[in-house]
Chains A and B, each alone.
Chain A
Amino acid sequence: MTSAKTELEGFVAEVVDRYGRDRRNLLQVLRTVQDQQGCVCDDAVQTVGQAIGVPAMNVRSVVEFYSFLHGTPRGQYDVLFSDNIVDRMLGKEGLMARLCERLGVEPGVPRADGRVTVDNTSCTGMPDQGPAILVNGLALTHLTPSRVDTIADLIERGVPLQKWPGIYCEVEDNVRRRDLLLGTPFIDGSGIRAVLAQGPDAVLDEMMTSGLRGLGGAGFKTAQKWALSRAAAGHEHFVVCNADEGEPGTFKDRVLLQGHANLLFEGMTVCARVIGARRGFLYLRGEYRYMLELLEHTLAQRRRAGLLGKGILGTEGFDFDIEIHLGAGAYICGEESALLESLAGKRGVPRKRPPFPVTHGHDNEPTVVNNVETFSAAAKIAANGGAWWAAKGTATSPGTKLLSVSGDCARPGVYEYPFGITIQEILDDCGASDTAAVQVAGPAGQLVPKRDFGRKIAYEDVATGGSFMIFNHTRDLLAVVRNFAAFFAHESCGFCTPCRVGTSLMRDLVEKVATGNGTQYDLEEMKHLGKIMKQASHCGLGLTAPNPVLGSLDKFPEIWTEKLKSKDFEPAFDLDGALSEARALTGRDDVHAHIA
């Protein structure tokens, strides 16, 4: 056996041990292996599989599911550009081309000397301070041409990331408007004290009174979720916080995690007390890796303060602790059942439902999965009472909502509003003028035209998990749709037919029309395809993936029709281009070697 192999085995054994030889930690193990080795090579796949007791094939299939894991080496510096439409509007494409040129690399291809890779990734959650990149998993913001040049230089000189100018890695909060959640005081422990003093039933009642609905977007009644999970029989109950925040244009959870983690952990602890959980998990998207130490630190502080761990606040039998699991670049892992699969160290493929996580969640035990914002609100509701929350908002959407505002406006950032705020009021506050359209709720949501700016942010009107991207009249809205269609094709988990195949077909049709090669026939094709995806998909991703196309065809037909050829049909591919290989191989370039 070669010494390299022995070394790898030793290292893997150590990592697997650190993660308790628990196959549910496979993803965490693989992340660690990749951090150290630069990739999870075939040998590592075999070694990890053996050490953790998972067939090597399944280890490989996990590696090949997540965008941030690689079977072959990337560059020593792995630079990923956030490819959200807003980053693009801020100049991402030019900057990426510039960096590639400086470094002499092709996007996605490691440089021959192994120094660097430059590639795209889905929205990294920084569009209020983009263009943003990840370098070896760490977030960098506010990219400019001169920063790009410096970065190229740092990479060429092999300067370790820790020695790069600190300002590059600064992530601002940009909180622009505060309300119940961000603007009222909170004493750490007050939520837990409330639940200890009043008892779980009373707190559940308060939650019920508050009318709090899931702030991740779907709007399921939180009290009901907790009550269902609490009532469900199981060996153990779990609390899981969804901090995957993958919907492009959303970054409000990042702000809560970075500046208000105590609130979130308190909410999880309150939930634990209500449902009787002893363990909780924070599923943190890989893009937010830079916060890991900070969050671990907050958890440690809370343990010291008696707010976490054994006998919380001196209460016999109230044991609860929280573990952080990192994602690895997969939007689908924000879908709660896919998240649970990922939490178990598997591919993030959404489960069949029913059963739902409230009865069969983590480890098939009753589990509450809530969004970061939801838990944070729950902590305050526990402390302040349900009426306090319900006093704001609308009858069916009580309380407030954090919005992640980005795009064409003077003051991008996080805005907290009572539900019921109109789109126009938000635009006025953030200094958006000349607005043509707003994409609410991310690519899965809707593109709202100017005539509808009087509509309200609320579950009963325009629902959102928080993404609010603004486009002014100079923007090419078709570029927005293209970006979203490509996003869904990239992020489809591949489990079910309509989404696996449909998102790619849709992306190609959108490209065809957007590049001026489409006809009315193609628009009809897109409508039909979108309809089928909405009928037949297994989970929310496929069900919403056609929204950007169907929505814009409905609300902004002109952006499509102006691109159309007047003919009734155009080939599916570039005919003359399809002769390129033959021309090259035969050396011909005569008239018959072309198709006009």
Chain B
Amino acid sequence: MSDQQTITIDGREVPFTEGQTIMDAALAAEVYVPHLCHNPEFVPHGSCRLCVVKVNGRFQSACTAPAAAGQVIDNSSDEIMDMRRTLLQMLFVEGNHVCPACEKSGRCQLQALAYYTGMLSPHFTHFFPLRRIDASHPDVVLDFNRCILCELCVRASRDVDKKNVFGITGRGINAKLIVNAASGKLGDTGFSVEDKAFHVCPVGAILPKHKGFEVPIGERLYDQQPISVVGDVAAHDEENAHA
């Protein structure tokens, strides 16, 4: 078939093939659609809602909506950007994000998206939830304060590592990350820094021990260029790992 099917994202024609989602097509065409819980290596999840776009006037998450010929998609109007900024503000007040004290700062996707959408404050009333840090693992710190429930670690551990280390429990605003150990401690699971799940967290919730603030401010992943140009942190972690 010579005439390629296309969708239109912000006025730009983007080709797609049958079975692709809007996100797939956008990624392939290097059109940036903001996202946190999506990582092309895993089955789409659709929970963070950052990738919601307006498809022929209807709001849909790009990572789960199939691309269909002729769709006209708004991915960057003020309305969409305001929605995304507001979702980010929700995530910020839901947890405890003290960026100055976080080693992920500068290469955190939540933070980078907040920069990208011009978020100057978390705006809402903070929940200041009480969450303890889990430092039981010899190589890894699990800081629940920063978890945004994207379930990337859950998917990676279940689908790639086949270890089922992470899960989500609770309901509503009490939903939270847990690990599969009777003690509830990461140190009592089979988790390892070799695991895929160690490399997928878009924020500073799963971090290596004994390392910190190695890259000077100004030179970190998202310091100079927005995430729309730089891309996901996970992709760069891979590069680092192979370097």
| Contact between chains at B83 and A535 (CB < 8 Å) | yes
A497 close to B48 (CB less than 8 A)? yes
Say whether A314 faces chain B, with CB atoms less than 8 Å apart.
no
Known: A61-B168, A535-B52. A56 touches B182 (CB 8 A): yes
- Contact at A489–B48, with CB atoms within 8 Å? no
Is there an interface contact between A535 and B173, defined as CB atoms closer than 8 Å? no
User: What chain B residues lie within 8 Å of A504 (beta carbons)?
Assistant: 127, 172-173
For B164, list chain A residues within 8 Å (CB): 55, 57-58
Cβ of B47 within 8 Å of any chain A Cβ, yes or no, is yes
Given A572-B125, A573-B125, A536 and B172 contact (CB-CB distance below 8 Å): no
Separation of A55 and B166 alpha carbons in the complex (Å):
10
Least CB distance from A436 to B in Å reads 31
Q: Which residues of B contact A500 (CB under 8 A)?
A: 94, 149, 172-173, 175
A498 touches B90 (CB 8 A): yes
Residues A505 and B172 in contact, CB atoms below 8 Å apart = no
Q: How far is the CA of A60 from the CA of B169 in the complex (A)?
A: 7
Q: Bin chain A's interface residue count.
A: 35 or more
In the bound assembly, the distance between CA atoms of A57 and B91 in angstroms comes to 24
Q: Mark A528-540, 1 if CB is under 8 A from B, else 0.
A: 1100100111100
In the bound complex, residues from chain A placing their C-beta under 8 Å from that of B169 are 57, 60-61, 64-65
Q: Which residue of B has the minimal Cβ distance to A64? A: B169
User: C-beta contact mask, B32-69 vs A, less than 8 Å → 1, else 0?
Assistant: 00000000000011111110100000010100101000
Q: Give the docked Cα–Cα distance between A528 and B124 (Å).
A: 12
Asked if B174 is at the interface of the complex by the 8 Å CB criterion, the answer is: yes
Q: Which of A347, A493, A536 contacts B59 (CB 8 A)?
A: A536
Q: Does B8 contact A (CB under 8 A)?
A: no
Q: What residues of B have a CB within 8 angstroms of the CB of A352 in the complex?
A: 44-46, 64
Complex partner residue of B90 from A60, A347, A497, CB under 8 angstroms = A497
* Contact A497 B180, beta carbon cutoff 8 Å: no
Interface presence of A491 (CB below 8 A): yes
Contact in complex: A536, B167 (CB < 8 Å)? no
Q: Is B86 an interface residue (CB 8 A)?
A: yes
B179 at interface, CB cutoff 8 A = yes
**A330, A354, A532, A573: most-surrounded residue (chain B CB, <10 A):** A532
Q: Complex formed: what's the CA distance from A55 to B124 in Å? A: 37
* Complex contact B64–A65 (CB within 8 A): no
Q: A505 contacts which of B83, B124, B179, B181 (Cβ < 8 Å)?
A: B124
Contact status B167-A538, CB under 8 Å: no
Asked if A536 and B83 sit within 8 Å, CB to CB, the answer is yes
- Cross-interface CB contact of B172 among A489, A528, A529, A535, cutoff 8 Å: A489
Distance of A538 Cα from B174 Cα, bound (Å): 18
Q: In the assembled complex, which residues on chain B have CB atoms less than 8 Å from the CB atom of A492?
A: 171-173
Q: Are B173 and A60 in contact (CB under 8 A)?
A: no
- Flag if B167 contacts A498 (CB, 8 Å): no
CB-based contact A57/B180 at 8 Å: yes
CB within 8 Å of A: which of B116-139?
124-125, 127
- The interface residues of chain A lying within 8 Å CB-to-CB of B125 are 505, 508, 572-573
- Which of B149, B170, B178 is A65 in contact with, Cβ under 8 Å? B170
The verdict on B87 contacting chain A, using a C-beta distance below 8 Å, is yes
* B-contacting residues, A39-68, CB 8 Å: 42, 46, 55-58, 60-61, 64-65
Residue A496 at the chain B interface, CB threshold 8 Å:
yes
Query: Which of B46, B171, B173 is the most central at the interface, judged by chain A CB atoms within 10 Å of its CB?
Result: B171
* B72 at interface by CB-CB < 8 Å: no
A131 near B: Cβ within 8 Å?
no
Let me know if B171 and A60 touch, CB within 8 A: no
Residue numbers in B under 8 Å from A536 (CB-CB):
49, 52, 59, 83, 87
Interface 1/0s, chain B 61-102, versus A by CB < 8 A? 100101000000000000000110011001101100000000
Q: Which residues of B contact A58 (CB under 8 A)?
A: 164, 167, 180
Contact B171–A65 (Cβ < 8 Å): yes
CB-defined interface of A499-541 with B at 8 Å, one 1/0 digit per residue?
Answer: 0111111001000000000000000000011001001111000
Separation in Å of the B13 CB from the closest CB of chain A? 24
Chain B residues whose C-beta falls within 8 Å of the C-beta of A455 in the assembled complex:
none
Does any Cβ of B come within 8 Å of A494's Cβ? yes
Given A352-B64, A354-B66, A536-B52, decide whether A494 and B174 contact each other with a Cβ distance below 8 A. yes
Do A57 and B167 touch (CB < 8 A)?
yes
Give Cα distance in the complex from A529 to B82, angstroms.
Answer: 11
A497-B91, A498-B87 known; A491 vs B49 contact (CB < 8 Å): no
A490 within 8 A of B: yes
Q: Which residues of the other chain, A, contact B90 by a CB distance below 8 angstroms? A: 497-498, 501-502, 505
| Nearest chain A residue, comparing its CB with the CB of B84 | A536
Is B44 in contact with A496, judged by CB distance below 8 angstroms? Answer: no
Most A CB atoms within 10 A — which of B47, B83, B86, B172?
B172
Give the shortest distance, in Å, between A9 (CB) and chain B (any CB): 15
Q: Which residues of B contact A496 (CB under 8 A)?
A: 46-49
The answer to whether the Cβ of A220 comes within 8 Å of any Cβ in the partner chain is: no
Contacts of B52 in A (CB 8 A): 535-536
Cβ-defined contact, B173 with A42, below 8 A: no
A535 and B61 alpha carbons, distance in the complex (Å): 10
Are A501 and B49 neighbours in the complex by a CB distance under 8 Å?
no
Bound together, the chains give a CA A347 to CA B47 distance in angstroms of 15
B83 engages A501 (CB within 8 Å) = no
A585 to B52, CA, bound (A): 48
Please give, as numbers and ranges, the residues of chain A lying within 8 Å of B174 by CB-CB distance: 494
Task: Check: A164 CB closer than 8 A to any chain B CB.
Answer: no
Residue in A42, A496, A572 with the greatest tally of chain B CB atoms within 10 Å:
A496
Residue among B166, B179, B182 making CB contact with A42, cutoff 8 Å: B182
> Considering the chains assembled together, what is the distance between the CA atoms of A252 and B44 in angstroms?
38
Asked if A501 and B93 sit within 8 Å, CB to CB, the answer is: yes
Between-chain CB contacts (< 8 Å), 6 pairs: A61-B167, A65-B169, A330-B171, A489-B173, A501-B91, A505-B124
Can you name 4 extra interface pairs (CB under 8 A) apart from A57-B180, A61-B178?
A498-B49, A500-B172, A504-B172, A532-B82
Please report A residues at the B interface, Cβ cutoff 8 Å. 42, 46, 55-58, 60-61, 64-65, 330, 347, 352-354, 489-498, 500-505, 508, 528-529, 532, 535-538, 572-573
**What is the interface of chain B, defined by CB distance below 8 A to chain A?**
44-50, 52, 59, 61, 64, 66, 82-83, 86-87, 90-91, 93-94, 124-125, 127, 148-149, 164, 166-175, 178-182
- List the 9 closest A-B pairs by CB distance, nearest first: A494-B175, A57-B180, A501-B90, A61-B169, A572-B125, A492-B172, A536-B49, A504-B173, A57-B167
